[in-house]
Amino acid sequence: MKINIKRLLKISLPLLLGVFLVWYSLSQISIEELLKYFKEANYAFVVLGMFLGLLSHLSRAYRWRFQLEPMGYKIKLGNSIMAVFATYLINYTIPRAGEVARASILTNYEDVPFEKGIGTIVAERIADMFVMLGIIIITLFLEFDFIYGFLIGKFNPIKLLVATILVVLLLVFILRFVKKGRSKFALKIKEFVTGLIEGALSIFKMKKKWAFIFHTLFIWAMYVLMFYVTSFSLQQTSDIPFAAILIGFIAASFSIAATNGGIGSYPEAVVLAFLLFGIPDDPSRAFGWIMWASQTLMIIIFGGLSLIYLPIFNRKKLPKRI
């Protein structure tokens, strides 16, 4: 019973949050005003942004094969591509269900054991996490003066220093607690951190590690370019500083984990990021919706086609019953 409630909350809470944020977002800008921005948008840049997003997904599918080859599985590129697009589409319904479906597709059509498929997906997520962390560090380094000035302007320097010291002391305490702790909580954290390190190091042990690293960097470069190029679709966001692009991209990326596919949370994350640079709410919110809608449309089209075409593409091999 407790497990069912926990599962229900995992499914319903992101969905409810998404519905609330959609309502909130549309309460801050009228439908007529939002549609006006959509009509005035330069769709050449929107389509180019969609193309860059498409390249990132294709690169992700190609990269996946590098992880499976050392285990003796040479999967068809078509199955890898369709599994990736199906993942994104299914994640719009149930968070993280797409990753399970992705591993199941390989089990059904490529005879890759489910646990091995999931293992490769976890490993690639670890690689993506490190790249995202790198983007954050680069952003902090490039925009240190701006971020420092913003924090000093908003917070008392002494309080900021005290808060920083407290955070550092808290982290040291947590690390010592985890290192020496024997409780279930401490052991779970230790296991999680160990898994992250092992997963990251495993990348350097694979045969085509440099190709894997190249595609990982390429994927995230396309993500950033996708966001940057689409900003030119609206006149009001076409000349914003690149710092706003980076911070907006980081905020929007984290928002995707908050709700199903970032519905509702994506445009509001963009607004909060752009607000730091004095960019008005309405064009920021409109850009967020254009960005989210264009990428969602691409996922619906290619994800839907993938789910339809997968059994046709593999018609000579019937899927196993689960």
Residue 318 has a pLDDT of 54
Residue 97 is encoded by which pair of tokens?
């269900």
The tens-digit pLDDT sequence of the chain (322 residues) is 455 676 676 667 777 888 888 898 888 888 899 999 999 999 999 999 999 999 999 999 999 988 888 778 888 999 999 999 999 999 888 777 888 889 899 888 988 888 888 888 888 888 888 899 999 888 888 776 666 666 566 556 666 566 667 777 776 776 666 566 666 666 666 666 665 565 556 666 677 888 898 999 999 999 999 999 999 999 999 999 888 899 999 999 988 888 888 888 999 999 999 988 888 999 999 999 999 999 999 999 999 999 999 999 888 765 554 4
State the Cα–Cα distance between residues 71 and 208, nearest whole angstrom: 13
pLDDT of residue 321: 45
Identify the CA nearest to 56 among candidates 155, 107, 119, 128: 128
Residue 173: count other Cβ atoms within 10 Å of its Cβ: 10
| Predicted structure pTM score | 0.81
Amino acid (one-letter) located at 20: F
CA distance linking residue 123 with residue 203, whole number of Å:
8
Distance of CA 109 to the CA centre of its chain: 26
Based on its alpha-carbon atoms, the radius of gyration of the chain, rounded to whole angstroms, reads 22
pLDDT at 91: 87
**Cα(21)–Cα(79) distance, integer angstroms:** 35
Residue 314, token pair as written in the block: 């593999």
* Cβ neighbours of 282 (radius 10 Å): 17
Q: What is the pLDDT of residue 92?
A: 86
